[in-house]
Structure 1
Amino acid sequence: MSAEDKPRARKAPRKLSEANINRREEILQATERVLRQEGYSGLTARKVAAEAGFSLGHITYNFNGMDEVLSETYRRLSGRLRESTASSDAADAPPLARLEAFLRAAFTAEFLDPGHLRLRIDLWSAALTSEVIAATESGLYAHYRSDLETHLLAVAGDDAARRTQVPVLTDTLMATLDGLWLDWMRRRDKAGLRNGLAGCMALVRALLP
């Protein structure tokens, strides 16, 4: 992203009007489309403005810069994932079944779409060089990890020994899920994906018998 394409930083308005909210949403949708088409390396504020059909000044007025635009785009992306995993939760199902549904909800066709995965990985890369995006990514990761840990604690029940295994399982499963997304992007191997998710559940059953 070139320096000339970065909108000048500004202070966010204290209260957004409905028109501002709608305009921000259109800009974020346009940003996601540009990222899907061209990736992070091809993203510029000018391309986003053109995709949205606005002048560059609309981005400057509605956001504090492209780092904020990217952060909010990542929030929308992760928000859809959390909504999907939350909607998979059947309150009357056993804890182990709820955990399995939670894990599988992150690997539906929507989240395995190449454009979605490219956008996700590009935003991970952007977090390496932007403190703003890194903070957003860290917070969203923590939310998802907390949701996973809650499911694992439900499986462990009140058994103290089993509950001590939950932090190990949580970290292992989080790393495995990230690996499954990356492996899918490389190989598109349905059997490999099924085996990976089955392996996650086998590990849970082994450590939380």
Structure 2
Amino acid sequence: MSAEDKSRAAKAPRKLSEANINRREEILDATERVLRRDGYSGLTARKVAAEAGFSLGHITYNFSGMDEVLSETYRRLSGRLRDSTANAGCADAPPLARLAGFLDAAFTPEFLDAGHLRLRIDLWSAALTSGVIAATESELYGHYRSDLEGLLLAVAGDDPARRAQVPLLTDTLMATLDGLWLDWMRRRDDAGIRHGLKGCMALVHALLP
């Protein structure tokens, strides 16, 4: 092999076999369990390896480091939420009904589970000190925001004045949803969640009459 061929080979991304992919999933499953049990402050590569039943080398072989492990764990959590909101309601329903279904889908028992919310908050905290996790968090936030914005644009229709309200509504609703999750962590108040979601829809009706 020539020096040029060796250089190309070194730069080529490593292809993951099915066994590697399955092992990565097992490591991410183990990471989620450790985070639920011990929190971000108690997470270590050794704990994850022990939880998965692997040697420490399996983590270093399958991931670039614990930041990537955490990023991929966060990606999976957000993927579940996005799948749930995407599947909420009927695609043929009126835009307002689809928007209401989207908002409600984020507050089912699965996503109000204390372990799930602890994971979200821990990963938000990790994003403050890790550029890798922060980039992943920003990307996933952007996906969710784009989905919400698309629904609001559908509600607004073609009226330029109504569409001009969508950025304000999107930012306000995103902040409100985060606040409702945090408030649930503190108070476990079902009525508070219902009132908060009702308030979101009332704001939409007020700005997009």
The question of a shared fold, defined as TM-score above 0.5 by the shorter chain, is answered with yes
Change in CA separation of 1:100 and 1:21 when aligned onto 2, cut-off 3 Å: same
Q: Which residue of 1 aligns with 2:65?
A: 65
Q: Which residue of 1 aligns with 2:37?
A: 37
Kept after mapping to 2: 8 A contact 1:112/1:181: yes
**Alpha-carbon distance between aligned partners in 2 of 1:108 and 1:128, rounded to the nearest angstrom:** 28
Q: Which residue of 1 aligns with 2:105?
A: 105
Kept after mapping to 2: 8 A contact 1:71/1:132: yes
Kept after mapping to 2: 8 A contact 1:149/1:166: yes
> How far off is 1:89 after superposition?
3.8
What are the ranges of 5 or more consecutive residues in structure 1 without an aligned counterpart?
1-10
What are the ranges of 5 or more consecutive residues in structure 2 without an aligned counterpart?
1-10
1:128-187 per-residue CA deviation (whole Å, 9 max, x = no partner) reads 000000000000000000000000000000111000000000000000000000000000
Partner SS, residue 117 of structure 1: helix
Q: Which residue of 2 aligns with 1:7?
A: none
> How far off is 1:24 after superposition?
0.2
1:91-129 per-residue CA deviation (whole Å, 9 max, x = no partner) reads 211100000000000000000000000000000000000
**Alpha-carbon distance between aligned partners in 2 of 1:44 and 1:117, rounded to the nearest angstrom:** 20
> How far off is 1:12 after superposition?
9.4
TM-score (norm 1): 0.94
Partner SS, residue 14 of structure 1: coil
1:122 paired with 2:122, answer yes
**How many residues align structurally?**
199
Aligned AA for 2:16? L
1:25 paired with 2:25, answer yes
Q: Which residue of 2 aligns with 1:14?
A: 14
Q: Which residue of 2 aligns with 1:4?
A: none
**Alpha-carbon distance between aligned partners in 2 of 1:47 and 1:27, rounded to the nearest angstrom:** 11
**Alpha-carbon distance between aligned partners in 2 of 1:42 and 1:92, rounded to the nearest angstrom:** 46
TM-score (norm 2): 0.94
1:157 paired with 2:128, answer no
Aligned AA for 2:145? R
Runs of 4+ in 1 over 2 A off after TM superposition: none
> How far off is 1:90 after superposition?
1.1
Aligned AA for 1:198? K
Partner SS, residue 111 of structure 2: helix
Greater relative contact order, per chain length (Cα 8 Å cut-off, separation 6+):
1
Question: Which has the higher Rg, Structure 1 or Structure 2?
Answer: 2
**Alpha-carbon distance between aligned partners in 2 of 1:12 and 1:180, rounded to the nearest angstrom:** 44
Partner SS, residue 91 of structure 1: coil
Partner SS, residue 194 of structure 2: helix
Q: Which residue of 1 aligns with 2:141?
A: 141
Kept after mapping to 2: 8 A contact 1:12/1:64: no
**Alpha-carbon distance between aligned partners in 2 of 1:192 and 1:48, rounded to the nearest angstrom:** 36
Q: Identity over aligned residues, as a percent?
A: 86
Kept after mapping to 2: 8 A contact 1:68/1:133: yes
Partner SS, residue 76 of structure 1: helix
